[in-house]
Structure 1
Amino acid sequence: MPLHSTRVSRRHALAGLGAGALGAWWPSLVWAQGDKAVKFILPVSAGSGVDAIVRGAGPALGKALNVAVVVENQPGAGGVVGTQAIVKAAPDGSTLGVVSNNHVIYPSVLRSVPFDPVADITPITIIANSPMVLVVNPKLPAKDMKELVALLKANPGKYNYASSGNGTILHLAAEMFKGVTGTHVTHIPYRGTGPMMADIISGQIEMGVIAMPAVHSHIKSGALRAICVASPKRSSGAPDVPTAAEQGFPAYVVEGWSAAVGLKGLSPDLVKRLHQGFATAFASPEVREAMDKQGNTIVLSTPEQAQAHFKSELAKYAAIVKRAGITPQ
């Protein structure tokens, strides 16, 4: 792509610099000379909540950063494939990533992870929180939490739920539902949100827990029936859908989040510029409207707050995985 050839020419132009000087100055040099594209790797499939957020904000983000924003989905292994591409990218700010809860779940559900989810990235910002919604195929004879729980308890093991992969946040969110309600539903893992959602809509699978940005249009069209949102309050993306707490299950609370990151070692100046770009883009009326329609709550944390969030979430999900009895694979 053009950006690659630009980097190559600069590499030749800067060939006389020592390795130490190149490492220290490379990010600021690239941005100062006005690169025309920044690629955002999403370690999730098209149609996911993170995908909806980034694509909804992409034009405004490109305008704020004065670059073209290229979005590239790299799902696989629950998100490890895409995240590995992020942490191995060139340290010039031309390749960044947007990750979700999955980023801090890997160490608890996988025996071996080819990167450190905290040490090998540079946090830029926690972008937004997204409510999780429990959905079912409309043919399932249950219209609310009590009816669904009664149906599942009367038929233990008969029904299946889909997730975007073993150990993903959608897997853990469904396991938390099972734990809170004392029900038994069989897990069917998929390679991403899009495929799992397609099979719930077609009736191949009965239910699943999905981030609101990915599913709100299907709820609105009637392709999927929303049973509850697993948030402390109702979602703007589907205001008619009651929370689990409203239906007598206050312990069922789980939210998704998205965060912008780069690989470790990004210069403070570049991180500051990127953070300002996100702040500008997500303050724009069109992005705020898009996020509200998707049901997201914009956060825009500082890089320091994002770093602390990663560490606390790492510990939180380790405890959730342990309680759920999920064996690392």
Structure 2
Amino acid sequence: MNTPTRILIRRRGLLAAGAAVALPALAQNDKPVRLILPISAGSGVDVIARAASAAVGKALGAPLVVENLPGAGGITGAAVVAKAAPDGLTLGMVSNNHVINPAVYKKMPFDAIADFTPISVIGATPLVLVAGKGVAASNVKELVALAKAQPDALNYASSGNGTIIHLAGEMFVEQAGLRVRHIPYKGTGPMVNDLLGGQVQFGVVALPAIQAHIKSGMVKAIGLCGAQRSPAAPEIPTIAEQGLPNYDVEGWVAVIGPAKLAEAEVRRVHDAFVRGFASPEVVEAMARQGNVIRPTSPEEAARFFRSEAARYAELAKKAKVVLE
């Protein structure tokens, strides 16, 4: 069932396992490849990119340099990719925000579809609703009861207005019928810092970006946002199984390049990412983080971007999220 209150990744046209078989060695290139992340350090996408960068760089035959350029919900970094030469030396790793932005911003400096070359939707990362350790709630029922007992007293954080993290938090608030205040931050790092410091009471975060703080007891895992529990944290129940059955949110991660990237270059970069994410050390890291890695083909990525953009446009309209 696909309703406006559900955000979930659609995994279609996934590559068969055989797509990751050994390919001919790529020519060495003494020029480093920039991988632009339009999000802050410490986010779920950042954790994924840095865990895989060495292996992907080896497969590319050139150093892969991860560069964080956060701002405006991902627009700042994505604009750098859009303006880059289509030579394969500047790539981007983006999340749901890339196709959400056209639906929530009145003006965009680029076309999120036409000005980029989709290379692969790498997979999905689980999101988790967490609360600060000082919050008197350890599960969905307790958090909802606490918020309803103190209307407008609690704050929930997001990594920025109009982001997938914001929409995921807004959906929880809406479905639970809460009156709380939204506090947007400029990235996941500052958001997590204030969750740890108690300035905000709860929020949605990518599991890889918050897992260490959950284990240390600095924050409480209220519920996993996806439809199923994560193998990386099977002890965390889903929000759906705690009384909000229609709540289902996952983040996806994709690799893009500038528009007009030559087909041969698209295939070369695609194959390098497939090989890099199939390397044993990256497979182990992704499993530890709870990420589901199933790279799509460039063609499937292009179709996925278009379908997701249309779906988020409908969601943003219903949620009345409009940004300058």
Contact 2:38/2:70, CA 8 A, preserved across alignment: yes
Q: CA deviation at 1:32?
A: 6.2
Q: Where does residue 10 of structure 2 map in the other structure?
A: none
Deviations 1:281-316 (A, max 9, x none): 111111011011111100200001111111111111
Contact 2:144/2:178, CA 8 A, preserved across alignment: yes
Deviations 1:192-214 (A, max 9, x none): 00000000011011111011121
Distance 1:320 1:226 in 2: 26
- Residue 257 (structure 2) pairs with residue 273 (structure 1): no
Q: Where does residue 160 of structure 1 map in the other structure?
A: 155
Contact 2:55/2:282, CA 8 A, preserved across alignment: yes
Find the partner of 1:175 among 170, 175, 184. 170
- Residue 99 (structure 2) pairs with residue 111 (structure 1): no
Contact 1:212/1:294, CA 8 A, preserved across alignment: yes
Q: What secondary structure does 1:209 align onto?
A: strand
AA partner of residue 258 (structure 1)? V
Q: Where does residue 214 of structure 1 map in the other structure?
A: 209
- Residue 57 (structure 2) pairs with residue 62 (structure 1): yes
Distance 2:150 2:29 in 1: 61
Deviations 1:64-104 (A, max 9, x none): 11110101000011111100001001111111000110000
- Residue 69 (structure 2) pairs with residue 83 (structure 1): no
Q: Mean Cα displacement is larger for which, 317-326 or 156-165? A: 317-326
- Residue 279 (structure 2) pairs with residue 260 (structure 1): no
Distance 2:28 2:262 in 1: 16
Q: CA deviation at 1:327?
A: 2.7
Find the partner of 2:32 among 34, 37, 46. 37
Larger relative contact order (C-alpha < 8 A, sep ≥ 6)?
2
Q: What secondary structure does 1:136 align onto?
A: strand
Q: CA deviation at 1:36?
A: 3.3
- Residue 148 (structure 2) pairs with residue 148 (structure 1): no
Distance 1:35 1:121 in 2: 25
Q: Where does residue 186 of structure 1 map in the other structure?
A: 181
AA partner of residue 43 (structure 2)? S
Contact 1:234/1:243, CA 8 A, preserved across alignment: yes
Q: Which runs of 4+ in 1 moved over 2 A?
A: 31-36
For structure 2, list consecutive stretches of 5 or more residues without a partner in the other structure.
1-25
Contact 1:41/1:86, CA 8 A, preserved across alignment: yes
Q: Where does residue 278 of structure 2 map in the other structure?
A: 283
AA partner of residue 239 (structure 1)? P
Q: Where does residue 302 of structure 1 map in the other structure?
A: 297
Contact 1:108/1:328, CA 8 A, preserved across alignment: no
Deviations 1:224-262 (A, max 9, x none): 111001111111232210011211211111110110000
Considering only aligned residues, what root-mean-square deviation do their CA atoms show, in Å?
1.2
Find the partner of 1:136 among 121, 126, 131. 131
Aligned length: 299
Distance 1:53 1:298 in 2: 10
From the two aligned structures, give the one with the greater helix fraction: 1
Q: TM-score, normalised by structure 1?
A: 0.89
Deviations 1:99-138 (A, max 9, x none): 1100001111111001111111001100120111000001
Distance 2:146 2:319 in 1: 22
- Residue 56 (structure 2) pairs with residue 50 (structure 1): no
Q: Where does residue 194 of structure 2 map in the other structure?
A: 199
Q: What secondary structure does 1:237 align onto?
A: coil
Contact 1:179/1:324, CA 8 A, preserved across alignment: no
Contact 1:165/1:189, CA 8 A, preserved across alignment: yes
Q: TM-score, normalised by structure 2?
A: 0.90
AA partner of residue 300 (structure 1)? P
Structure number, greater radius of gyration: 1
Contact 2:27/2:61, CA 8 A, preserved across alignment: no
Q: Where does residue 228 of structure 2 map in the other structure?
A: 233
Distance 2:295 2:287 in 1: 15
After superposition, the Cα gap between the structure-2 partners of 1:150 and 1:59, relative to the gap in structure 1 and judged at 3 Å, is same
Of all paired residues, the percent bearing the same amino acid is 55
Q: Where does residue 102 of structure 1 map in the other structure?
A: 97
Q: CA deviation at 1:33?
A: 7.4
Q: CA deviation at 1:267?
A: 0.6
Q: What secondary structure does 1:258 align onto?
A: strand
Distance 2:268 2:52 in 1: 17
Q: What secondary structure does 1:161 align onto?
A: strand
